[in-house]
Amino acid sequence: MSGNTLIAKEFDKFFVDNYKYLLGFTKSIDVKNDYQNLLHDCYLKCKTRLLLSGYSGNSYLNYTRVTIMNTYKTQYRDTKHTIDFHSEDYENEIETELQTREDFNDQSKQHDYEMVFLNTMAYDYVNKYFSPKENMIFKTYYVLKHKHINYKTLSECTGYSITSVSNTIKRIKKALRDNLVSYINTGMNVMELADKIKKVETVISLPLNKNLGLYKSTYIEVFGRPFKSSCSCQINRIRTDLISWLEKNKPLLK
């Protein structure tokens, strides 16, 4: 099997494994854009460039995201129309063009804010669930990934074996793929969320009047505060609030 064939298979597997994320990323740039075709164009563009360069590495995700963003910006510039100042309606054309440019700049800023937020939450997740050693390996990898760092270089930078840094990065990446959405929304990983959902489902299946103490303790565990009400007639809200929490968070397990 040739080197190019290996690169093609490697990139195809990466694209399939990350398709949903990449589609969401592309859509987040501009929901009004034909984001499915844009992603397909970027897939072909990335694959062609990788085959021409012969590069095979572990930073396909960053490379693909940059390509998507740059392609979108190029398409936006190419579709901008020239205003005819001799047109009777040129004032409205100017206003429309200025608004379009403002919308584009706002979308770019929003995208940047979202990326900063996601990166911050990823760091926070790794700090919470991984050891100091794993944290150091991940942060070194993250800081240097724009330089297409490989595991050998990462091993030299951190002082740990290639096997150790490779397994650490793969484990953290999988954990972030599986748990980051849940962590952003609930402050818990998927396993913790599943355990709490199971507990809430068990509690709300029981009659409130005979299990008020259990309802109150579960309420504190879920919301981080005791249930407070100035009137005993509001006590049914404990059950209602728990049901609302369940309906909101259970879909995150899918």
DSSP-assigned letter for residue 188: S
Predicted confidence (pLDDT) per residue in 103-130, tens digit? 555 555 565 666 667 778 888 899 999 9
Whether the full predicted model's pTM is greater than 0.75, yes or no, is no
Which stretches within the chain are classed as H helix? 3-17, 19-29, 35-53, 60-79, 90-129, 132-144, 151-158, 162-186, 190-204, 212-223, 237-249
The Cα–Cα gap between 141 and 143 comes to 6
Question: What mean pLDDT, rounded, does the chain reach?
Answer: 80
Cα-Cα end-to-end distance for the chain: 38
The Cα–Cα gap between 213 and 219 comes to 10
Contacts of residue 171, Cβ cutoff 8 Å, sequence gap at least 6: 134
**Residue range 67-84: average pLDDT?**
67
35: number of CA atoms within 13 Å, CB side?
Answer: 16
Predicted confidence (pLDDT) per residue in 204-213, tens digit? 999 999 999 9
Predicted confidence (pLDDT) per residue in 160-212, tens digit? 999 999 999 999 989 988 898 888 888 899 999 999 999 999 999 999 999 99
